[in-house]
Structure 1
Amino acid sequence: MLLAMDTASTTASAAIYDLKKAQLLGECTWEGRRRQTQNLLVMVRHLMASVDVKPTDLTALAVTTGPGSFTGVRIAVSAAKGIGLGLPSPPAAIGIPTLTVTAAPWHALASACNAALTLCAVMFAGRGRYHWTLFAADEPLHRPDANAHCTGTAADLGAFLERLNLHPCWLVGEVDADLATAVDALAHVVVIEPVYGLRRAGVLAHVAARLLEAGVVESLSSLQPLYLREP
C-alpha cells in the first residue's frame, strides 16, 4: 500500500493507493490553510481506517516536495519521515514536484491531441505571484528541478508564454482571472479550466506508483523540499 500526502500549499490532501491492484482506495482533500500540522495525521488516520488499511500495510510513501509554502512543504515531508521510521520495514519513498501533480491529469489528453503540445503548469505563489514550469505532453513522469521552475506575476507569465509562439501550449492548474487576461491575446495558448478545484493526492499517488513501477525508488533520507528561493 502507498500513502500519498500533499501539504505544499493551502490545499491539503492524502490518499491510499493499492500498488498490487493499481487502484486508488480512498482520498481526502481539504482547504488546509494554516492548519495542516494539526489536521494532516488526523485525516490520514481517518482515511486509513475508512479503507481498512493498517500502518503495517504501508510499503511506500509519496509526498509533494514543492514549490509551495516553506512550512507547508515541510509538513508532508516531515510526516513521511516520521511515519516511515515507525514502520517495521523501511518503505519505498518518492518525492514529486507539486507542478508535476498539477500537470499529470492532462498528459494523456494532450498527447492524443498533439504530441508536440506543451503543458504549462501553474500554481499560486502568494502576493500576486505564480510558480510555473513546462512539460512535454509525452513526459508525464518528468520531475523538474528548481532551475526548471519560474516565479513571477501574471504579466511575467504572459511574456514567458509569448516567447513560445511557435508551439501550441495548454495552461493548466491554478489559473485565475488575472492569468486568463494576461494570456488572452496569445493565440497559441489555451487556458484549461480547472476540473479539480483542489489539487488531489490521488493524482500524486498515481504518478508515484508509475515512478515506482519504472524503478524510481528513493529513501526517507533523500526526501527534501524543493525551494525556489531562500525562505
Structure 2
Amino acid sequence: MKQYKAVIFDLDGTLLDTLADLGLSLNTILTRHGYGPQSLSAVRRYLGNGAERLCRLSLPKNVKDEEFQTLFKEFKAYYKDHCHIATKPYDGIADLLKGLQEQGIKTAIVSNKPDEAVRALRDDFFPAVTLAVGQKEDIPRKPSPLMVEKALHDLGIKKEDAVYIGDSEVDFETARRAAMDVILVSWGFRDRSELEALGKAVIVDTREALSAHLLGSVQKSD
C-alpha cells in the first residue's frame, strides 16, 4: 500500500455534511427575490462547482446579470452567518484526521467555497488541518488544478507523494488534471453509481475503508 506524505481533501460532501445549511441559505434568498425554493435533492445535484454555479443553476436562465449579482452577494452574506446551524463533520472524520496527524501526514482542504468560508469552517471544525484554500478572484475554481497545486506548494509536497480525496466528478477531474492519485467517497453529494461511471478511481463507502487506504489500518468511528 502506498504511503502518502500529504492528503488533500475536498470539503463539502467529503469532510463536512453541509447540505442542509446550503439549502436553507439558498432558499431564503430565492424566496426573498420571489423565486420558488429548491429541494435538497436538487441542491445536492447542483453542488460541486462553487457557490456561484449553485445559484445560477437554481435560477431561471433568463435572469439578468445585475439581479443575479445582487442575489449571489446576498447568498454569500447569508450563508456566512448561517453555515454552522446543521453543518457537521461526517462520523469518523475526526478520528481519521487524528490518525493522519499522528503519523506525520500533512493535510489540506481545497474547496470551491469562497476562501473566507473555507478558512472559517476549517478553524471551527478541523483546526489541526495544516492548510485551507478556497475560491478567490485570482485563482480559478476546481476542476482547475491550480488550487491543489498551490496547496501542495505551500505544504512543500510533491504531487506524487500526495492523494486527493473528494466526492464528485469535479474532484475526479481536478485530480486528473493535477496528475494525482485520487480516492472518491460515496457518502457525499454523488451516488456510488455516478462515481463508478467516471472512470478508473478508488471508491470507498465508509470512513473506516478510507482510513485503511490512507493509514494501513482501520480507525474506529466517533
Quickly name the TM-score band, shorter chain normalised: 0.3 to 0.5
Is the strand fraction higher in 1 or 2? 1
Q: TM-score, normalised by structure 2?
A: 0.34
Is the helix fraction higher in 1 or 2? 2
Q: TM-score, normalised by structure 1?
A: 0.33
